[in-house]
Chain A
Amino acid sequence: MASKTFLEAIRDAQYEEMKRDDSVFIMGEDVESNMFGTFSGLKEEFGADRVRNTPIAEAGMTGVAVGAAMVGMRPVVDYTMAPFLYPAFDQIISMASKTRYLYGGQGGVPVVLRANMIYGNANAAQHSDRPYSMFMNMPGLNIIVPSNAYEMKGLLKTAIRNNDPVLSFEDVALWSSKSEIPDEEYTIPFGIADIKREGEDVTIFAIGAMVNLALAAAEQLAKEGISCEIIDPRTVAPLDRATILTSARKTGRFVAVDSSFEMCSAASEVCALVAEQAFWDLRGPVKRVCTPNTHIPYSPSMEKQLYPTVEKVIDAVRSVMA
Chain B
Amino acid sequence: MKQNLPRETLLEMYRRMRRIRLFEDLAEEIHRNGEVPGTCHTSQGQEGEIVGACMALRIDDYMVGNHRSHGHPIGKGAKLDGLMAELMARKTGVCGGKGGSMHLADFSVGSLGETSIVGSGIPVAAGAALGAKMKGLDRVSLCFFGDGASNEGTFHEGINMAANWKLPVIFLCENNGYAISTPISTTAQVENIADRAVGYGIPGVVVDGQDVLAVFEVVREAVHRARAGQGPTLVEAKTYRYLDHAANLGRNLAYRTDEEVAEWRAKRDPIALFDERITGEMGIKPAELRQIDDEVKAEVDGALEFARSSPFPDAEEAFTDVYGDRLAVDA
Contact = CB atoms under 8 A, between A and B. Distances in A.
Interface of A: 23, 25, 49-50, 54-55, 57, 59-73, 90-91, 94-95, 99-108, 139-140, 142, 162-164, 191, 237-242
B321 A63 contact: no
Contacts of B103: 102-103
B322 A61 contact: no
Given A64-B161, A99-B113, A72 B131 contact: yes
B129 interface: yes
B120 A100 contact: no
A55 B157 contact: yes
A64 B126 contact: yes
A60 B161 contact: yes
- Can you list the 10 inter-chain pairs with the closest CB atoms, starting with the nearest? A67-B127, A63-B123, A60-B157, A104-B96, A104-B95, A71-B131, A64-B127, A105-B321, A57-B157, A68-B131
Contacts of A242: 331
Contact of A103 (B107, B154, B330): B107
A102 B95 contact: yes
A67 B123 contact: yes
B56 interface: no
Given A73-B130, A94-B115, A100-B323, 4 more contacts: A57-B160, A64-B123, A70-B127, A104-B99
A231 to B, nearest CB: 15
Best-buried of B62, B134, B135, B323 by chain A (most CB within 10 Å):
B323
Given A67-B64, A95-B115, A73 B131 contact: yes
B7 interface: no
B117 interface: yes
B179 to A, nearest CB: 17
Interface string B131-172: 110110000010000000000011011101100100000000
B62 A71 contact: yes
Contact of B158 (A60, A71, A106): A60
A90 B128 CA distance: 18
A241 to B, nearest CB: 6
Contact of A62 (B123, B134, B326): B123
A141 to B, nearest CB: 9
Contacts of B134: 23, 25, 49-50, 68, 73
Nearest to B95: A104
Contacts of A73: 130-131, 134-135
Contact of B161 (A54, A70, A240): A54
30 contacts: A57-B161, A59-B154, A60-B123, A61-B157, A62-B123, A63-B120, A63-B121, A63-B123, A64-B124, A64-B126, A67-B126, A69-B131, A70-B112, A70-B131, A71-B127, A90-B120, A100-B324, A101-B322, A103-B95, A104-B105, A105-B321, A106-B105, A142-B323, A162-B325, A163-B323, A191-B330, A191-B331, A238-B330, A238-B331, A239-B330
B95 A64 contact: no
Contacts of A67: 64, 112, 123-131, 141
Nearest to B167: A64
Contacts of A66: 123-124, 127
B97 interface: yes
A64 B130 contact: yes
A59 B127 CA distance: 12
A99 B157 CA distance: 20
A59 B157 CA distance: 7
Nearest to A107: B107
Given A73-B134, A164-B323, A139 B115 contact: no
B122 interface: yes
Given A72-B135, A100-B324, A103-B113, A60 B160 contact: yes
A266 B198 CA distance: 47
A68 B127 contact: yes
A63 B127 contact: yes
> Which of B93, B132, B331 has the most chain A CB atoms closer than 10 A to its own CB?
B331
B309 interface: no
A25 B133 CA distance: 13
Contact of A94 (B117, B129, B160): B117
Contacts of A60: 123, 126, 153-154, 156-158, 160-161
Interface string B296-331: 000000000000000000000000111111101011
A159 to B, nearest CB: 13
Contacts of B16: none
Interface in B73-100: 93-99
A94 B132 contact: no
A72 B321 CA distance: 18
